[in-house]
Amino acid sequence: MPAHDAVEVILAKRDKHELSDSQIDWVIDAYTRGEVADEQMSALAMAILLNGMNRSEIARWTGAMIASGERMDFSTLSRPTADKHSTGGVGDKITLPLAPLVAACGVAVPQLSGRGLGHTGGTLDKLESIPGWRAALSNEEMFAILEDVGAVICAAGDGLAPADKKLYALRDVTGTVEAIPLIASSIMSKKIAEGTGALVLDVKVGSGAFMKDLTTARELAETMVALGTDAGVHTVALLTDMATPLGLTAGNAIEVAESVEVLAGGGPADVVELTLALAREMLAGAGVTDIDPADKLADGSAMDAWKAMIRAQGGDPDAAMPEAKESHVVAAPATGTLTRLDAMAVGLAAWRLGAGRARKEDPVQAGAGVVWHARPGDEVTEGEPLFTLLTDEPERFDRALASLEGGYDIGDGSAYTPGEIVLDRIG
C-alpha cells in the first residue's frame, strides 16, 4: 500500500494546504515511474499555479526532482567551477563569449544548455551552425574538456533530473508554464544536480522575456537564489533588460559571428557590458577576485579558449558560417532617432524566418534571422537600411515583416533616455 495517492495530494494543494515532505517525495517519484498519470500531475500543477508554494515546499520539490536522477561532481577538477543560466531572451548570445572568457580567467564552466522554443533562441542551436560542432557529450568527454580547456557547452544528459524533463513537457501543454515554484524548481533542479560550485542567474525582464515586469522577475530570482543557497551553491541573480534585444543580431549563425566579434575585442557595447558583468559575478562566486575579465578579451586569451572549446567538441572555429539563401532589406521610413526597438517583435520575426521552432522536434535554419542596423539612441536616415531579414525560404518574409510592424519607433532624440542593462542584483 503506497504512503499516499495522487488525489489526496491534488486536494491538499487545491485547498491551499502546505504539502508535506513525504507527499512531495512520493508524488515526484511516482510520476517519474509512471504511477501518477499525466492528467493527475496536470491538476496538481494547476493547483500550484493558482495557490503557490512556500519556500520549504519549493526546496523539497526541487530536492525530489534532483533525487529522480544522477548528480554530477566536479570536485576532482583542478580548478573551481561556475555556471550561468539565462531565463531566455532575443539576441541573447551571452553564453557563447562568456564561457570561454571565464575559462580564460581560470574557472571551469560546465554549461549545460538548451534549444530554442518560440521567439527565444537556444544556445545549442546557435553552436550547431558551426560545421562539425556537437552538443551531445558523455560525462567522461565533458570532464576531459573541462580539465583541458576549462569550458564546455553541451546538452544535458537524460540522467539529470528526469522528473523535470517529464514535468516540463506537461507544463508546456497545460497552461502551467508560468507557475513560479515550477519554473524555479525546473531550472534549479538541473543546475544543482549538475554540481557546479557557483551559479549566476540572468533573469530577463521585459517584452522579449518570460517575465514581463520587475515584480515577477524579482520573485523568481529570489526564489531561485534561495534554492541554490539552501543547497550549498553560491548563487546570485542579475535582473537584466529584455525590452530591447541584445546586440545587433537574432538568429543562429549570425549570433555566433557577433559573439566572435566580442571575443576579438569588439562587438556591440551592450553584449560586452552584460558578458563582463556576468563574468565578474561568476569569478567572484568561484573565489577569483584578482583577475579582470576585460583584460582577457583584450589580450586574446578568451578567443584562444573559444577556439579550443569549439575544436574539443568537433567544430571548426575557422570554418565559413552558413548563410541564408535569401535576404530582404527594410528601409527606415523616416529620419530621426530610433527611440524603441521591441524585443518580442524582433524575436517573432527571427522565429518566423526559420531561426526558431514552434515544437521541440522542428528543425531550424542555421542562416536565418534578423540583423538590425541601429539600436535605440542611434540616428537613422529615411531610406537607409534599418533591418535585414535572412531566410532560405522567401515565402517567410511576409509574416516576419508583419511581426516587425509597430515594433519600433523613430522620433525626437532629445526625448530618448537610455536604460540600464543590469536592473538589479539579488544575492
Assign residue 25 the CATH number of its domain: 1.20.970.10
Which residues pair with residue 340 across a beta bridge?
409
Residue 1's pLDDT is 65
H or E element at residue 404: helix 397-404
Give the residue carrying C-alpha cell 574538456.
145
Residue 414's pLDDT is 85
Residue 357's pLDDT is 80
Give the residue carrying C-alpha cell 522579449.
208
Number of domains in the chain: 3
Any idea which residues carry the catalytic annotation?
Answer: 85, 164, 171, 186, 190
H or E element at residue 369: strand 369-372
267 and 131 share a domain? yes
Closest CA to 268 of 409, 127, 276, 114: 276
146 and 260 share a domain? yes
Instruction: Tell me the CATH number at 372.
Output: 3.90.1170.30
CA atoms within 13 A on the CB side of 88: 20
Contact 283, 293 (CB under 8 A): yes
Residue 117: Cβ-neighbour burial (10 angstroms; 0-12, 13-18, 19+): middle
The whole domain housing 222 covers: 82-158+190-312
Of 253, 288, 312, the residue that ends a domain is: 312
Of 277, 312, 347, the residue that ends a domain is: 312
Which residues pair with residue 202 across a beta bridge?
86, 238
Give the residue carrying C-alpha cell 552538443.
135
41 and 106 share a domain? no
- Number of neighbours of residue 357 by Cβ within 10 angstroms: 17
| SS3 state at 80 | coil
CA distance 145 to 141: 6
Torsion sign (Cα): 209, 83, 233, 231? positive
> What's the Cα-to-Cα distance from 94 to each of 227, 277, 317, 331, rounded to whole Å?
24, 11, 17, 28
Burial of 374-404, coded b for 16+ CB within 10 Å and e otherwise, reads bbbeeebeeeeebbbbbbbeeebbeebbebb
Give the residue carrying C-alpha cell 491551499.
16
299 and 393 share a domain? no
| SS3 state at 85 | strand
Tell me the residue length of the chain. 427
Q: Give 10-residue mean pLDDT values along the chain (427 residues).
A: 89 97 96 95 97 96 94 93 94 96 97 80 92 94 96 89 88 87 94 94 95 95 96 96 97 97 97 98 97 97 98 97 97 97 96 86 91 97 98 97 97 88 96
Residue 361's pLDDT is 73
221 and 362 share a domain? no
Residue 77's pLDDT is 95
Residue 157's pLDDT is 81
